[in-house]
Amino acid sequence: MDRYAVIGNPISHSQSPFIHSQFAGQSSQPMSYERILAPMDDFAGVLRRFMQEGGKGCNITVPFKTDVLGLAEVLTERAELAGAVNTLHLQPDGRWLGDNTDGAGLIMDLKRLGIPLAGRRLLLLGAGGAARGAMAPLLAESPAELVVANRTQSRADELAARFARFGKVGSCALDELAGAFDVIINSTSASLQGDALALTESLCHPQTRVYDMMYGRDETAFLRWARELGLEHRHDGLGMLVSQAAESFYLWRGVRPDVVPVLAALRAKLELSS
């Protein structure tokens, strides 16, 4: 039986073993998947032991996604662009491939939800690692414009400049946003702590779609803001979590699992409303 794992610190909260066990059962794949806690000062050692013990692939989660860049022998273009790796795959030639499936997972979930991106004006809140992984996949969908907004404008400017060659990208501070957007995506973790972002009603029109990459048992502050504005189309990031896992599973096993029943099972397990 092929062995896979997710490595991080902390790791006990990870839903990846449940998700991949569902994928494996659905597609009759002979594999196991476990959580591995890596000490903050010995991630490389833990990864090396996993490889030596016959691991075929693994997911990497916080805070080690950037540490893997120097350990993977080959990187995909999307991992290089994101500046982070969340998936490692043992290739037939014995080399370890580093990939980043987060952005692909976001796009898969947006499409599952029927959120149109082509020709639309998009707003991406935040300029951290999650935003960086989303930039190229979002721009590949040919939006009319993608604006990055961050509390610290210099970080938004840097991110916009990094991806300017892929499409029309703008940047600004949160308090300088202007005009209405068709889709607003929150990549910050602030809303999980109940921190409201400095957003105004003028950023939305009645059909604006809002998506929070975060999810929780309680409604995030960002989604609460959207609900209080009367916006009908509000979505959390649980589907992104399952979709990025499906992309990793496809890389490892060559099989595309059905995300919808697994997402429903996970939502029920966590007792989250859709």
Residue written as token pair 């202007």:
178
Average of per-residue pLDDT across 174-188? 96
Element (H, E) at 223: helix 221-228
pLDDT classification of 195: cutoffs 50, 70, 90: confident
Q: Where are the domains of the chain?
A: 2-100+239-272, 116-232
Indicate if 56 belongs to the active site.
Answer: no
Q: Under a CB-based contact definition with an 8 Å cutoff, are residues 36 and 46 in contact?
A: yes
pLDDT category of residue 191 using cuts at 50, 70 and 90:
confident
Superfamily (CATH) of domain 116-232: NAD(P)-binding Rossmann-like Domain (3.40.50.720)
- The answer on pLDDT for 49 being more than 80 is yes
What are the binding residues for shikimate? 14-16, 61, 86, 102, 215, 244
pLDDT greater than 90 at residue 273: no
Question: What are 137's two structure tokens?
Answer: 């996949």
What are the contacts of 116-119 at 24+ separation with CB within 8 A? 116/182, 116/183, 117/141, 117/142, 117/143, 117/183, 118/142, 118/143, 119/143, 119/144
Query: How far apart (Å, rounded) are the C-alpha atoms in residues 144 and 146?
Result: 7
Phi, psi of 75 (to 5 degrees): -120, 140
Encoded tokens for 57: 């692939």
**Which of 65, 111, 168, 269 is the catalytic position?**
65
d(CA 116, CA 111): 7
Q: How far apart are CA 186 and CA 241, in angstroms?
A: 14
| pLDDT tens track for 99-142 | 999 999 999 999 999 999 999 999 999 999 999 999 999 999 99
Does the fold of domain 116-232 match that of domain 2-100+239-272? yes
Name the residue with tokens 């697994």. 262
Identify the helix (H) or strand (E) that includes residue 60.
strand 55-60
CB-CB contact of 194 with 222 (8 Å): no
Q: In degrees to the nearest 10, what's the CA dihedral of 211, 213, 218, 223?
A: -30
Element housing 262 (H / E): helix 259-270
Query: Which residue, among 104, 40, 145, 78, has the nearest Cα to 249 in the 3D structure?
Result: 104
Instruction: State the CATH class of domain 2-100+239-272.
Output: alpha beta
* Unique residue bearing structure tokens 């499936």: 101
Binding site residues, as ranges? 14-16, 61, 77, 86, 102, 126-130, 150-155, 213, 215, 237, 244
Q: What is the pLDDT of residues 210-259, one digit of tens each?
A: 999 999 888 999 999 999 999 999 999 999 999 999 999 999 999 999 99
How far is 152 from 77, CA to CA, in rounded Å?
27
